[in-house]
Amino acid sequence: MNPDGPASGSSFGTLKDRVIDKGLCMLCHGCVASCPVDAIEAIGERIHLTGECIECGTCYRVCPGRGYDFAKAKDRIFGRREKGIRERIHGVHLSGKNLRSSDEEVFRAGYMGGRVSTVLIHALEEGLIDAALTTDWGEGPVLSVGSGRICRDRASVLECSSSKYLFSPVLTLLKEAHRDPEIGRIAVVGLPCHIQALRNMQSDRMASRYTEKVVYALSLNCGAPNLTDENWRSVIGRIMEVSGEGISSVDIRKVKGRTLRFRVRMKDGTESVRDRPLSAYIRMIHGYPGWPRCDLCIDYSGELSDITFGNPLARTEKGKDLLDGAVKAGKLVPASKGQAISQTAIDIYGYLLKKVGAKRRIKRRRRKGEPHPEYRC
């Protein structure tokens, strides 16, 4: 589904030359997830060839970094393009609802009402899926990359609730799920770049075997560019009043209302905990330059998903059935009017930032002859 057509005769070298070395990698890990001989690894914030490339071209074909043919993808997934102003902002969808979890534990654990976690728990409890692929805080030396988790029950879904402004290797779990005979059907939760790569994998002759078990592709809205490890350390260091370089791990959870609890372990073994308002944290993140490729991404609302969160938007029939099922079971209930209004304001900001702003930035780069992604909408 890449705009310049199939990549015959391409190899990891092609991906490296045309995407990675040009600063167009989104770090979605789609190439790692798709390589049939497990020859590609993400080491920190960079993708490397660590085994022998068989020159199948899969990594290059599934990569959303160099651009995307959204028009073709929408025709395939939805059988149509956007109609009217609402869909031009939010993408193709069948229904949109302002919802929150009715379960107080899930509501508290979630970032914006626990809607994603509620839907996952509902799907697990109803036997619609056997596992959900989600993202947890990282454990590695690079703080800006989270870790993927295969969740099979309510407890593990709740452990992974809440937003992490991190790169996620969630797609790399597809191979593990593919090989696990006890897993039949899965839901994947990702950012728009993950869902783009996943859709490429689903339509790819080589990579589609790893996605056969995926029944739901759930996206988060994404208007916050991820930070590099250096900047992420600086943010956490400033919040905790510790040296960013000395941090070995970070864990941030919502404790009540709009308050987050930051738990930071230092390389010398000490640990500190501090509660801070969500708004101060978001403001601080926006004060840093983002990952450059995120600034060129036009997909704010995961337009190729089955359901996108923000205010949940069901895009496909099966996404709508899942969401309606959680509502009918009383697990998702209407959220406050205040939340709907603030979400609308956030969505307009996200639309301007990505669908309008990123398109302008791409145009500027094209004019200057600088590397840029090509999109077809």
HEC profile for 219-287?
Answer: EECCCCCCCCHHHHHHHHHHHHCCCHHHEEEEEEEEEECCEEEEEEEECCCCEEEEEEEHHHHHHHHHC
Task: Kindly give the pairing relationship between strand 374-376 and strand 67-69.
Answer: parallel
Least distance (Å) between residue 278 CB and ligand FAD: 10
Any contact of residue 202 with ligand FAD (CB under 6 A)? no
- Verify binding: residue 190, ligand FAD, rule CB under 6 A: yes
Nearby residues of 77 by Cβ (< 8 Å), 6 or more positions away: 199, 304, 315, 316
- Of the candidate spans 47-55, 161-169, 203-211, 361-369, the one that interacts with ligand FAD by CB under 6 A turns out to be 161-169
Per DSSP bridges, beta strands 131-136 and 247-256 are unpaired
Nearer to ligand FAD, 35 or 189 (CB): 189
- Examine residue 112 and tell whether it contacts ligand FAD (CB under 6 A): yes
How far apart are CB 148 and ligand FAD at their closest, in Å?
Answer: 9
Q: 63 vs 191, which CB is nearer to ligand FAD?
A: 191
Report DSSP state, residue 338.
H
CB atoms within 10 A of CB 319: 23
- Asked whether 125 and 154 are in contact (CB, 8 A), the reply is yes
Pairing mode, strands 67-69 and 99-101: unpaired
- Report DSSP letters for 162-173, one per residue: S---SB--GGGH
Angle, to 10 degrees, between the axis of helix 192-202 and the axis of helix 70-78?
70
Instruction: Decide if 1 contacts 73 (C-beta within 8 A).
Output: yes
In the set 33, 131, 166, 214, which binds ligand FAD (CB under 6 A)?
166
User: Which of 236, 253, 255 has its CA nearest to residue 244?
Assistant: 236
Which amino acid, 219? S
Does position 144 interact with ligand FAD (CB under 6 A)? The reply is no
User: CA 124 from chain center: how many Å?
Assistant: 20
Q: Specify the stretch interacting with ligand FAD by CB under 6 A; choose among 67-75, 123-131, 185-193, 359-367.
A: 185-193
First to last CA, the chain: 12
- 58 near ligand FAD, rule: CB under 6 A: no
| Binder among 220, 252, 307, 335 for ligand FAD (CB under 6 A) | 220
Return the ∠ at Cα 225 (arms to 219 and 230), rounded to 5°.
130
Q: Residues 6 or more apart from 268 whose CB is under 8 A from it?
A: 246
Smallest distance from ligand FAD to CB 151, Å: 8
Among 221, 228, 231, 316, binds ligand FAD (CB under 6 A): 221
What residues numbered 333-362 form the site for ligand FAD, per CB under 6 A?
346, 350
Pick one of 91, 113, 192, 244: the residue that binds ligand FAD (CB under 6 A): 113
* Contact stretch for ligand FAD (CB under 6 A) within 33-41, 112-120, 269-277, 322-330: 112-120
Q: Which is nearer to ligand FAD, 91 or 114 (CB)?
A: 114
Minimum gap (Å) between residue 109 Cβ and ligand FAD? 7
* Residue 15: CB minimum distance to ligand FAD, A: 22
Q: Is residue 117 part of the contact set for ligand FAD (CB under 6 A)?
A: yes
Which residue of 14, 34, 98, 163 would you call a contact of ligand FAD, by CB under 6 A?
163
CA distance 111 to 221: 12
State the minimum distance, in angstroms, from the CB of residue 146 to ligand FAD: 6
Query: For ligand FAD, which residue of 66, 90, 164, 331 counts as binding (CB under 6 A)?
Result: 164
What binding mask, one character per residue, do residues 224-253 give for ligand FAD by CB under 6 A, x or -? x-x---------------------------
Query: Interface residues with ligand FAD (CB under 6 A)?
Result: 110-117, 134-135, 146, 160-166, 168, 170, 189-191, 220-224, 226, 309-310, 346, 350
